[in-house]
Amino acid sequence: MLHLLVSELNSLANPEQAKILQRFFKTSEGEYGEGDIFLGIKVPAQRKIAKKYTGLSLVKIQELLESKIHEHRLTGILILVDKFKKSKEEERGNIFNFYIKNTKNINNWDLVDLGAPNIVGEFLSDKKKGILYELAESKNIWEKRIAIISTMSFIRKGEYKDALRISEILLNDKHDLIHKAVGWMLREIGKKDIETEKEFLKKHYKKMPRTMLRYAIEKFPEKERQHWMKK
């Protein structure tokens, strides 16, 4: 089954699109996605293929996640998300553990963003969240991004405590992709509870990286945005 999936992906390869994606996902030497290889397949096409292979075993998904090709890894994540949604609690636990063991292979921001809320966040919704705090303190940028992006699942349910605490942990992080992720989650909180977001901003805006603040206040009225940026 795996070779059919890989053949299907390879048949959709688009070299021109691949060049665009390799620039977009910063794959040059010294950049965050250094060495990542793209086939040039857009996400909707990968989703269609993933849905056909939900029965793929974790052993075979492991092979996808260990591939040097970005779309192989992303399709593996999309299959995991589909499997998780269709599984009962015990199997969900297995998928969650499998995901956590593979954080080294979840090594670009789209891989994190399309999987973390729907697997890690959903699984931990009614459980202790200690693993997220461990990931937030990691030296690995992708583990830190997994920690904060996973909280989207809680935010959707009106639970903000962990998102706010992890945002505080990451306030002094140096990486732009973490600034964007934290700002994004703060913005998501604001969509549901603007006062909670503003309370966090009042406490931390002076030391927040400007990118983080810009993302957090993106949906504010223009005058209010200017007010926060000038503070």
110 found inside a domain: no
118 found inside a domain: no
Domain count, the chain: 2
111 found inside a domain: no
Q: Are residues 74 and 150 in the same domain?
A: no
4 found inside a domain: yes
Q: Are residues 20 and 79 in the same domain?
A: yes
Q: Are residues 132 and 196 in the same domain?
A: yes
Q: Are residues 149 and 227 in the same domain?
A: yes
Sequence letter at residue 99: Y
Q: Are residues 132 and 181 in the same domain?
A: yes
Domain with residue 159: its CATH number is 1.25.10.90
* DSSP state, residue 37: B
Q: Are residues 93 and 132 in the same domain?
A: no
Q: Are residues 99 and 4 in the same domain?
A: yes
pLDDT at 37: 94
Q: Could you give the CA distance from residue 72 to residue 62 in angstroms, rounded to a whole number?
A: 10
Q: Are residues 220 and 140 in the same domain?
A: yes
pLDDT digits (tens), the chain, 231 positions: 888 999 999 999 999 999 999 998 998 888 899 999 999 999 999 999 999 999 999 999 999 999 999 999 999 999 999 999 999 999 999 999 999 999 999 999 999 999 999 999 999 999 999 999 999 999 999 999 999 999 999 999 999 999 999 999 999 999 999 999 999 999 999 999 999 999 999 999 989 999 999 999 999 999 999 988 886
Structural domain of 91: 1-103
pLDDT at 124: 97
pLDDT at 1: 83
Is the Cβ–Cβ distance between 151 and 132 less than 8 Å? Answer: yes
Q: Are residues 129 and 229 in the same domain?
A: yes
Q: Are residues 151 and 94 in the same domain?
A: no
Q: Could you give the CA distance from residue 153 to residue 189 in angstroms, rounded to a whole number?
A: 11
Hey, CA dihedral for 24, 29, 214, 133, is it positive or negative?
positive
17 found inside a domain: yes
pLDDT at 108: 95
Q: Are residues 70 and 169 in the same domain?
A: no
145 found inside a domain: yes
Which of 36, 69, 103 is the last residue in one of the domains? 103
Q: Are residues 165 and 215 in the same domain?
A: yes
Is the Cβ–Cβ distance between 212 and 179 less than 8 Å? Answer: yes
Structure tokens at 84: 């998780």
pTM for the model stands at 0.94
Sequence letter at residue 24: F
116 found inside a domain: no
109 found inside a domain: no
